Structure 1
């Protein structure tokens, strides 16, 4: 078994009640079978409180009207933890924000961006993310799993991350290269030419492709209508998803009014001024932050295409995520009288992640919307 994780994985420490938000509100917490069995057998004086706070048929913890977990105290601490200790926690609570993607003989660990502390850890990082590997003798076989397709996806993802971390290129150029690679691989898959994916990967290592991507970026920068339509569309699409927190809806509505309410020309003026401010006044390097976000989304989701062969939409989803975060940053900048700090950016990033990554239905729906609308490289 091969275990992989980003090099900042061990740096995470939960800030508990000091956290600006709580991971115990806003979504239902699913209880694993082993914990359900343990809770049923609880013998202590805490049994009554424990049992009346669980939806036994749904296998979830109950919530109050504000969608706060029944065990969450006013101080944002876990009452179960305080009374029964750390071992009483279910798998979800024990592991969050740690996340695991599983493939045949591979386990890929990550930290979820939906945690404010993880968002801060990632977005304040200046160094390129590296990945750590550990191999054990365990093995397992999965049905309906294509080892060859998976190997091609891993190779493509490694190149994508290498391209995204090539700081000699503009961040737009790097993103276009990743999209182009995914697009060309998708065409091979659709044409039942899986063995041609290796040639695609090798082609994208060539300098000629860097120049081609640069020309596409230049054309896109001049196409105000395309920029406006894409930015507006990917935010509007979020309204089709289940709303998990009310403040997210307010954030989207403010962006709609401030950025898109007066048409594409005004949008272009706002974004020109915002981009200039980011380059000259913002205390952090947005190019690096954008790189870290793209690497996060590509690492976490790209190889999932081994199950459905939807390669391109996994790359598009990463681009859509960065676009949404960038535009919400601009809207927040306007709201704050043209000021923006790291705390603002982290808040936007983790709130986006909470709405998308903590609802399987939202994630699948957004994937399908992007796939249907064919907004990029189609």
Structure 2
């Protein structure tokens, strides 16, 4: 058994009540079965308070999602006190915290014989790590798996045989490409999409094996001077269409319960871009050109964001056999983040602080990463409307 982790993993540190947000507010707090049984045995006054604020999850077949805290009208955990501290931790200690409260934002997913560690970007401190890391993200493989008490395996999957090697090599190639700074980011994303399309064809056709030869052929074909020049001939997409696609996604999300306060404010910033000029297309083109120049020295943040998504999403295709939806999510996430940063920059008189970048990254992640059904529903909806074609995705990227 081995473990794999990104180079920023060990740098994470929870800052508790100094955090700009709170992981005990705004979403469900799930309780594992063993913790629930431990809480049931508490016979003191605090135990009575604790158990009166718990309920079992109906029809749950997963011991990790056995029960949940009953949140108040503000979606706040009943054990979060006015000082933004946990009364369970204060009264009973860390040993009584449920798995999710102990491990978040750490994630450990077991694929075959490799346990992959990551951190959820929905935590502001994790977003800060990506903003601060102005060097290439490396990945560290350890030969012996060693879990600490703050880690919980999210899912355990069987060995995936040769399919694992195909997806693994595809992800390695895509991550290397994402950090290849000699190529503009929009070109990198298009090539990453083309790579995933070729891998998806092999998955669909059951063409498993000879991964090294296949990956070498992809490199020669897709990371070539001829293709890069061909991409230059792509007609610059309609910026209004890009914004309308993003707003359509936000509206879809709102109808599915998405919309924390920070994200709602970001949506309003995007809408303001459409109200500033009679010639919207010309204005948006100019604004994007100016923003790209302004953000050039911090473009590594967008690269880090792409690498984070590739590492977080790519191997999920082993489970659903659908790499297309994982790359769809990457492109959607990138496009929304880029446009949100531009809109925030524009509202702030063409200035953008690291703190505002952190807000964009973690606010979006809070809505997109913690729903098992949202991306699938969005993917199906955009497919039905015919707006998830390669042309539409290029519009989102370019």
TM-score (norm 2): 0.85
CA distance in 1, matches of 2:375, 2:196: 19
- Work out which of the residue numbers 77, 83, 89 in structure 1 matches 2:91: 83
Give the deviation of 1:190 after TM superposition. Answer: 2.9
Contact 2:263/2:360, CA 8 A, preserved across alignment: no
- Work out which of the residue numbers 137, 140, 157 in structure 2 matches 1:129: 137
Q: Which residue of 2 aligns with 1:301?
A: 313
CA distance in 2, matches of 1:150, 1:305: 9
Q: Which residue of 1 aligns with 2:341?
A: 329
- Work out which of the residue numbers 155, 159, 162 in structure 2 matches 1:148: 162
CA distance in 1, matches of 2:366, 2:233: 34
Give the deviation of 1:209 after TM superposition. Answer: 2.7
Give the deviation of 1:275 after TM superposition. Answer: 3.4
Contact 2:260/2:363, CA 8 A, preserved across alignment: no
2:309 corresponds to 1:314: no
For residue 205 of structure 1, give the secondary structure of its aligned residue in structure 2.
helix
Q: Which residue of 2 aligns with 1:119?
A: 127
CA distance in 2, matches of 1:144, 1:102: 9
TM-score (norm 1): 0.89
CA distance in 1, matches of 2:350, 2:302: 20
Q: How many residues align?
A: 371
Q: Which residue of 2 aligns with 1:366?
A: 378
Give the deviation of 1:238 after TM superposition. Answer: 3.2
CA distance in 2, matches of 1:264, 1:314: 37
Equivalent positions of 1:225-236 (< 5 A) are 225=238, 227-236=239-248
2:189 corresponds to 1:180: no
Contact 1:100/1:110, CA 8 A, preserved across alignment: yes
For residue 110 of structure 2, give the secondary structure of its aligned residue in structure 1.
strand
211 and 44 in structure 1: CA distance in 2 versus 1, 3 angstrom threshold: farther
2:245 corresponds to 1:237: no
Q: Which residue of 2 aligns with 1:52?
A: 52
For residue 133 of structure 1, give the secondary structure of its aligned residue in structure 2.
strand
For residue 114 of structure 1, give the secondary structure of its aligned residue in structure 2.
coil
246 and 116 in structure 1: CA distance in 2 versus 1, 3 angstrom threshold: closer
2:242 corresponds to 1:191: no
In the alignment, structure 1 segments of 5+ residues that lack a partner are: none
CA distance in 1, matches of 2:157, 2:125: 37
264 and 200 in structure 1: CA distance in 2 versus 1, 3 angstrom threshold: farther
Q: Which residue of 2 aligns with 1:104?
A: 112
Q: Which residue of 2 aligns with 1:19?
A: 19
2:73 corresponds to 1:73: no
176-185 or 91-100, which moves further after superposition?
A: 176-185
For residue 232 of structure 1, give the secondary structure of its aligned residue in structure 2.
helix
Q: Which residue of 2 aligns with 1:273?
A: 287
For residue 320 of structure 2, give the secondary structure of its aligned residue in structure 1.
coil
CA distance in 1, matches of 2:38, 2:107: 23
190 and 86 in structure 1: CA distance in 2 versus 1, 3 angstrom threshold: same
274 and 137 in structure 1: CA distance in 2 versus 1, 3 angstrom threshold: closer
2:360 corresponds to 1:352: no
Give the deviation of 1:26 after TM superposition. Answer: 0.6
CA distance in 1, matches of 2:139, 2:170: 15
Q: Which residue of 2 aligns with 1:33?
A: 33
Give the deviation of 1:213 after TM superposition. Answer: 4.3
- Work out which of the residue numbers 353, 360, 368 in structure 2 matches 1:341: 353
Contact 2:5/2:141, CA 8 A, preserved across alignment: yes
Q: Which residue of 1 aligns with 2:223?
A: 209
CA distance in 1, matches of 2:282, 2:109: 39
What whole-Å deviation, never above 9, does each CA across 1:50-78 have from its counterpart, x for those lacking one?
Answer: 11121234511111111011111122111
Give the deviation of 1:82 after TM superposition. Answer: 1.0
Q: Which residue of 1 aligns with 2:152?
A: none
